[in-house]
Amino acid sequence: MYTYKIHLKKEAEGGYTVSVPVLPGCITYGEDVDEAIAMAKEAIELFIEELQERGEVIPDNSNTLEFSLTLEAT
């Protein structure tokens, strides 16, 4: 089992672009949040499949801590 953090960015023209930071180049898009998440799952599965075929290490976020910091502009 692999764990992945995904980032959803709301686009001005609508929909969401999804990126998977630990898998550089793994980027997809969905018209709404649910579709974006479904598309991310599919993109991650295909990305992992490609890594396996090439015999490469499969990175994930199982040992990653994540924090959000809010800074006030000066």
Q: How confident is the model over 33-56, as pLDDT tens digits?
A: 999 999 999 999 999 999 999 999
Residue extents of the structural domains in the chain: 7-53
Cβ neighbourhood burial of 51 (10 Å; 0-12, 13-18, 19+): middle
| pLDDT at residue 74, rounded to an integer | 77
Work out the mean pLDDT of the chain and round it to a whole number.
95
| CA atoms 47, 50, 55, 56: torsion sign | negative
pLDDT category, 67, cuts 50, 70, 90? confident
Full-model pTM: 0.84
46/40 Cα distance (integer angstroms): 10
